[in-house]
Amino acid sequence: MLRLREHAAMLAGVELLRLLHGRGAPDRHRIAPARLRAVLAHVEAHLAEEITLSDLAAVARLSRFHFARAFRAETGVTPHGHVTQRRVERAKLLMLDQGLSLSEIALACGFAHQAHFTTAFRPVVGTTPGRWRQERLS
């Protein structure tokens, strides 16, 4: 029984050292670089559309569960979080053009409506889209 505890403690220590020294995600939680690039390109090409975890996992040719874990291990953010961040970044570019309303920008960036856009924008940027736009254009 003592040997089992010693072994478990040693394994935990090795894992802790691996994490502290930044050796990255274990191989079982990795996405091949070409597959990750394909997923990121797919996100960019389809921001205005609905993007599901199943879609992204299919592009990576992985199961949904494995893809979600591997993507987070590789990027530090969930697939949904990445899509939201990219949509917000695209929206910020579009908001610098005064010819588009916030509702039009929301739809062009894949948000269901302006309220959905505002709800997603505020945690990423720290303010509302309207206030952000006003501050940049004044």
pLDDT value, residue 10: 52
Which structure tokens are listed for 9?
Answer: 């403690």
Is pLDDT larger for residue 58 or for residue 5? 58
Q: Is residue 96 part of a domain?
A: yes
Judgement on whether residues 71 and 90 belong to the same structural domain of the protein: no
Q: b/e map of 97-110 (b: 16 or more CB within 10 Å)?
A: eeeeebeebbbebb
Per residue in 32-90, pLDDT tens? Answer: 999 999 999 999 999 999 999 999 999 999 999 999 999 999 999 999 999 999 999 99
Judgement on whether residues 60 and 97 belong to the same structural domain of the protein: no
**pTM score, two decimals?**
0.77
Q: Is residue 18 part of a domain?
A: no
Full residue range of the structural domain in which residue 120 is found: 84-137
